[in-house]
A and B are shown apart, each in its own frame.
Chain A
Amino acid sequence: MAVDTSRPLDPAAGAKGARGRGGQLHKDGTPPRGRIRNALARHWYAWAMVAPVVIVIGLIIGYPLGRGLYLSLTDANEANVERTIGINHIPATYKNVGLDNFKAILQDQVFWDRLGWTVTWTVCCVALTFSIGLGLAVLLNRRFAGRTLYRSLLILPWAVPAFVSVFAWRLLYNEKNGILNKVLDGGGIDAVPWLNDPTMAKASVIAVNIWLGVPFMLVALLGGLQSIPGELYEAAEMDGAGPWQRFRHITLPGLRSVSSTVILLSTIWTFNMFPVIFLLTRGGPGDATEILVTYAYRLSFVNSPRDFAGASAWGVLILLILMLFAVVYRRSLRKQGEVW
């Protein structure tokens, strides 16, 4: 990822100042303090430019993360955190319970059930979104009449805010009166309980998430395809390679760096995809479509009393799972010779 940043530019820019000043400091014989000043003189532009991000991330993610980690080790809930009722200020009374929350969660079947479904959900969504996006991108990468129109129509779902789309889908899925069932009815098929039957609900939420995710995949992969030189295909055709061989040996390798990025990102996003499930089924029927994130949200904002400690512990576990995934993924890419 950050490997190719050794631009000739910076050595040219930084090194000139650094070399001059470095020389002087060396004569003066004040290396340690000089090094800091040197570094400051050399890098302050860069540091000034990244400072806003570091500050914002530090305050709004760093601090809450620390707090979240801390809360996950306590028994904090709605009843014992610091709060103000009217003019009375009530101090916090929760206490440290060590790793009890984690022990309780890991011993509970609920966690493993949710984890299993979250993994299924993520794998199905990412695999299908990627395949459909790739298929459409390959089709759109040819030249033919109406290509621009098709492309605009196909990325339209992206232009609609996700929660609006989700409500549109709820309209379509409505069991008694939704258009999907009306159409099936016209064909003599019984109404399908799209969101009320556990299995159908799972399929339905996956379908909606794929619908939402394809445009991003399509655009990213289309961009990737356009950066593969056409001569490669011509040469392969000369050598008698069929369409499938060209796809396998030119298209897929040519897309590798785009695919590895979009797969990683969309896996992370899908794993944490809150709005689709929350708005479509609220995790129901029962808790059939509840993924880890929506469950953790339910603990802290829906259930009563609000279980802050439990939600934080779930959050910590989710984060650990994703980090593990990212590390493994990155390592496997490296083995294939990807520089990322």
Chain B
Amino acid sequence: MRDQRRGPLASVGLHTTLVIASAVAVFPPLWLVVTSFKPKSEAFSTDVVKNPTLGNYRHVLGDTEFLTWFGNSLFIVVITTILGVFIAATTGYAVSRFRFPGMRPLMWLLLITQMFPVAILIVPLYNIMSTLGWLNQPISLIVTYLTVAVPFCAWMMKGFFDTIPVEIDESGRVDGLNPFGTFWRLVVPLAKPGLAVTAFYTFITAWAEVAYASAFMTGEDNLTLAAGLQTFVNQYTSDWGSMTAAAVMIAIPAALVFSWAQRHLVAGLTAGATKS
């Protein structure tokens, strides 16, 4: 842009800073990957990898409930993401395009739900889930995660829809589409970056949630990854080899979703943050 005259010194400074920052950002996950390939006995050796082994992975996949937890998490997260994106999009569209009674309170409601500490909701929710017989059922976590992710996503989507010209909706109406049709056929396809960010955010929220997952799900078979991972390293045992291997496998789906959403992140978040 306006840096043609940057001196060599400034250039060195710029790159040094960014290299250091990148190293700090990358090192912890990288070290996790490195450690996961070490034999159990060498988990803490500082050598990069002397005797690389897949033993940790074999152990986690073969001898623990990891795959069950993975399946549980995947099921919960996929359903949450699909529902969450859909609900957040319709809400965001409505508050962006229509002025209707109850809109302002709704916007406030969405902000205020961000403030709810897990602590105030978790006990009553636990009681409700137990009354409904939903404890240890995926539905309890799906519903809970929706309430965590949707308010922020709806806010973000509103900002995003604000950047899509209204003329597009008008042209849809001229062509005889009703508001739902306009939304679904014209606006949603244009809102893909926003939807991608929303999907990513919902996915990562649900994939990484710890408190509700540990409280609602008990018994080896019902745990999600976040709760299951804790069983490898707790007060009594510290099986770092299994923990790191499991952690790497947990991070892979998130990384895939992330790389898919990444190019949309800047565009999507900008709209959300500047316009809301």
Contacts and interface: CB of A to CB of B under 8 A. Distances in A.
A261 to B, nearest CB: 5
A94 interface: no
Contacts of B109: 54, 57
A297 B180 contact: no
Interface of B: 1-3, 6, 11, 14-15, 17-18, 21-22, 24-26, 28-29, 31-32, 35, 43-44, 46, 87-88, 90-91, 93-104, 106-107, 109-125, 127-128, 143-144, 146-147, 150-152, 154, 162, 166, 169-170, 173, 178-180, 183, 204, 207-208, 210-211, 214-215, 226, 229-230, 233, 240, 243-244, 247, 250-251, 254-255, 258-259, 262, 265-267, 269-271, 273-274, 276
A318 B119 contact: yes
A65 B35 CA distance: 43
16 contacts: A2-B103, A5-B96, A10-B98, A13-B173, A56-B143, A67-B124, A159-B254, A211-B28, A230-B1, A257-B273, A300-B119, A312-B123, A315-B117, A319-B115, A319-B120, A323-B115
A6 interface: yes
B273 A274 contact: no
Residue in B18, B128, B266 whose Cβ sees the most chain A Cβ within 10 Å:
B18
Given A46-B100, A57-B113, A8 B166 contact: yes
Nearest to B94: A49
A297 B118 contact: yes
Contacts of B44: 174, 176-178
A194 to B, nearest CB: 13
A287 to B, nearest CB: 15
Contact of B251 (A5, A161, A237): A161
Contacts of B270: 220, 223-224, 226-227, 258
Contacts of A227: 270, 274
Contacts of A52: 87, 90-91
A161 B251 CA distance: 6
Given A45-B98, A215-B25, A315-B121, 6 more contacts: A49-B183, A160-B254, A183-B46, A274-B118, A278-B210, A293-B117
A246 B80 CA distance: 45
Contacts of B11: 144
Given A311-B123, A315-B119, A172 B28 contact: yes
A233 interface: yes
B97 A10 contact: yes
Residue in B99, B104, B254 whose Cβ sees the most chain A Cβ within 10 Å:
B99
Interface in A286-340: 292-293, 296-297, 300-301, 308, 311-312, 314-316, 318-319, 322-323, 326
A127 interface: no
Interface string A1-34: 1101111111111100000000000000000000
A279 B210 contact: yes
Contacts, number: 324
Contact of B125 (A60, A162, A258, A272): A60
Interface string A28-46: 0000000000010011011
A155 B18 CA distance: 12
Contact of A1 (B18, B111, B117): B111
Nearest to A169: B28
B99 A268 contact: no
Closest 10 CB pairs of A and B: A315-B120, A223-B270, A177-B44, A296-B119, A161-B208, A159-B258, A64-B124, A67-B124, A49-B94, A46-B98
Given A50-B94, A142-B3, A159-B258, A57 B151 contact: yes
Contacts of A43: 98, 100-101
B114 A268 contact: yes
B112 A323 contact: yes
B246 to A, nearest CB: 9
Contacts of A174: 44
A45 to B, nearest CB: 4
Interface of B is mostly: helix
Interface size class of A (residues with CB under 8 A): 35 or more
A275 interface: yes
A79 interface: no
Contacts of B100: 10, 42-43, 46-47
B111 A326 contact: yes
A160 B251 contact: yes
Contacts of B17: 139
A296 B116 CA distance: 13
Given A154-B25, A168-B29, A168-B31, A293 B118 contact: yes
B87 A168 contact: no
A311 B126 CA distance: 13
A308 B123 CA distance: 7
A277 B18 CA distance: 28
B25 A157 contact: yes
A4 B107 CA distance: 12
B96 to A, nearest CB: 7
A163 interface: yes
A179 B31 CA distance: 9
B123 A71 contact: yes
A171 B214 CA distance: 22
A54 B179 CA distance: 20
B275 to A, nearest CB: 8
